Structure 1
Amino acid sequence: MLPRKTVATAEVPNGETLTLISHGRDFIIMVGRDELMGTRMQFSEEQLAELTLAELDHANPRVLIGGYGMGFTFRKALEKASEGAEIVVAEVVPEILEWAQGPLAELTGDTLSDPRGDVVLCDVAALIDDANDGSCDKWDAILLDVDNGPDGIVRDGNQRLYSTTGLGKARDALRPGGILAVWSAAPDYKFTRRLKEAGFEVEERRVRARPNNKGPHHIIWFARKR
């Protein structure tokens, strides 16, 4: 059996410790004993971007992604987006970008130099607030994958994103017909109810972790602004 080796660690601001682990040719990011993401099961995180962009009416969408992680969602968004699209990622952990250009450089490729994309070191909630107060344009889509689901396990401050108030702010930061998409490792019926209470039309889809229709099922909520 191949051993797991710790490659690096990073502290989440006001949150937990992230650990980058290698396992043979694969990499995993852990928080405590929980696996946040890994290179063996990335399909559902790619689907977060692909399925969302397929639902948008805007030819050149403006998309906000909460959390870079290993870049699965960001890369798929760039792959599927038009030449005039704008894809912005909010990431709070500077070391994540160092990993992307260091031990994960082969995985990253030339993603970070794509002129349509921008990775900003800040809380995704700040960019949502900026769209609401007029500091920046509103978004066609907001994609959240900053925890293992609608629960602030990585950082307590993330909890506000999933509250009824936080969801209302996300709705107001979207253009008409815009989509808030949220990734989760498991169902959460209370969260579905909160999305509806916040004024969204909600669709919940189960997506496999691997493209060969194997691995665990993950959940993606697609919440459209009415």
Structure 2
Amino acid sequence: MPPMIAAGEIISTHPASFEKVTFRWVHSKELLVSRFFKELDYRPTPLGALTLRWRMDPVSGEEIYEIKLGDDFLMSSKFTTSEKALATIALNAFGTDRVLDVVVGGLGLGYTAAAALDDARVQSLLVVDALREVIEWHNDGLLPLSNAIVSDPRTRLIHGSFFDMAKKGNAFDPECPGRRFDAILLDVDHSPSKVLHPANLEFYTVDGLSGLREQMKPGGIFALWSNEPPEESFTQTLRNVFSEARAEEVRFYNPLQENEAIQSVYVAQV
């Protein structure tokens, strides 16, 4: 069954043949609800309109959650292979006896964070997201992974810009400036060269990555998700900052395009 919309009031009912009801959300946006589609939330933000949507595939019956910012689809629960791989590839680089303090940049639907929490070696997880609304969705339990992430005592959700926090002299943990981490995982932009905001490009340079490295423990891992195949130029940039760097392809079948999708995870070690 599709999730209930807790906040809102019915303001009109369309003919039954349309199976559609319109809700007025507390943020003055009308949400359309049908048998196969629900706009769970709509929020205006400085970066554009942010929407959380639920839909059901009428053929397979699969329930799909999507986050959209302006014209960009940030994430869909239909394709999560590489988001999970971001965590598993990075954490598998550590020995079995090392306890891990982890940062995830980009909460989204929660798949990277949940995959990190599945690793018993993780003793703390900071999840940083620039969109307060996304954090509120999880705190309100609107997404399938929300309760598992929020209720885990190892988790802290932090509202802020990952890219600002990664700069030299700044900190990911506002309660403990100077704290260092074993693993920092980032899934915000589409790729190192296709960013959501032009200002983000600075991070993917030697100077930007050098600031990040200052917050990492010896032997620490930085891992980056990309919607594109590996870019050798960025792998080389990583090698100019870290002792080792590589890119791993993540392949999966895309039934919508009827072909194999190729995404990537970059891994760099201090």
Class of the TM-score when normalised by the shorter of the 2 chains: 0.7 to 0.9
Partner of 1:75: 114
Distance 1:154 1:9, change over 3 A: farther
Aligned residues: 219
2:205 alignment partner AA = S
Question: Unaligned regions of 5+ residues in structure 2, if any?
Answer: 1-34, 57-62
- Contact 2:191-2:227 at 8 Å conserved across structures: yes
CA 205–183 in structure 1, closer or farther in 2 if over 3 Å, else same: same
User: Which one-letter code corresponds to 2:245 in the other structure?
Assistant: V
In 2 relative to 1, CA 194–87 (structure 1 residues): closer, same or farther, beyond 3 Å?
same
1:178 to 2:220 alignment: yes
Which of the numbers 232, 236, 260 marks the counterpart of 1:189?
232
Question: Is the CA contact (8 Å cut-off) linking 2:183 and 2:221 kept in structure 1?
Answer: yes
Residue 58 of structure 2 is aligned to residue 20 of structure 1:
no
- 2:27 alignment partner in structure 1: none
Select the structure of larger CA radius of gyration. Answer: 2
User: Is 1:222 the counterpart of 2:267 in the alignment?
Assistant: yes
CA distance in 1, matches of 2:199, 2:101: 25
Residue 200 to residue 19, structure 1, CA distance change in 2 (3 Å): farther
Asked if the contact 2:162–2:172 (Cα under 8 Å) also holds between the matched residues in 1, the reply is no
Q: CA deviation at 1:101?
A: 4.1
Deviation, 1:167, is: 0.8
TM-score (normalised: structure 2): 0.72
Give distance in 1, aligned partners of 2:232 and 2:92. 25
Pick the aligned partner of 1:34 from 64, 67, 72: 72
Structure 1 gaps of 5+ residues are none
Q: In the alignment, does 2:48 pair up with 1:9?
A: no
Q: How do residues 100-139 of structure 1 correspond to structure 2 at under 5 angstroms?
A: 100-102=138-140, 104-128=142-166, 129-130=170-171, 135-139=177-181
| Segment of structure 1 superposing worse, 171-180 or 102-111 | 102-111
Kept in 2, the 8 Å contact 1:141–1:174? The answer is: yes
Aligned CA-pair RMSD: 2.7
What is the CA-CA distance between 1:208 and the residue it aligns to? 2.7
Aligned in 2, Cα 1:161/1:11: closer, same or farther, shift over 3 Å? farther
Shift of 1:137: 1.6
Where is the helix percentage greater, Structure 1 or Structure 2?
A: 1
The aligned counterpart of 1:63 is 102
Letter of the aligned partner of 1:93 in structure 2? L
Task: Report the more deviating stretch, 62-71 or 4-13.
Answer: 4-13
Closer, same or farther: CA 32–153 of 1 in aligned 2, 3 Å: farther
Which structure has more relative contact order (CA 8 Å, sep 6+)? It is 1
Give, in angstroms, the shift of residue 126 of structure 1: 4.4
Aligned partner (choices 188, 206, 210) of residue 146 of structure 1: 188
Per-residue Cα deviation, 1:152-171 (whole angstroms, up to 9, x for no partner): 63234322221221111112
SS at match of 1:48: helix
Whether 2:214 is the aligned partner of 1:201: answer no
- Give the share of equivalent positions with the same residue, in percent: 29
Name the CA distance, whole Å, in 1 between partners of 2:233 and 2:268: 14
Cα distance in 1, alignment partners of residues 104 and 260 from structure 2: 24
Letter in 2 for 1:35: F
Name the amino acid aligned to 1:222.
Answer: V
Is the 1:46–1:76 Cα contact (8 Å) retained in structure 2?
Answer: yes
Alpha-carbon shift at residue 123 of structure 1 (Å): 1.5
Deviations 1:124-165 (A, max 9, x none): 234432279x81321111111011122463234322221221
Structure 1 runs (4+) greater than 6 angstroms displaced: none
* Cα distance change, pair 111–54 in 1 and its aligned pair in 2 (3 A): same
Q: Give the 3-state SS of the residue equivalent to 2:88 in structure 1.
A: helix
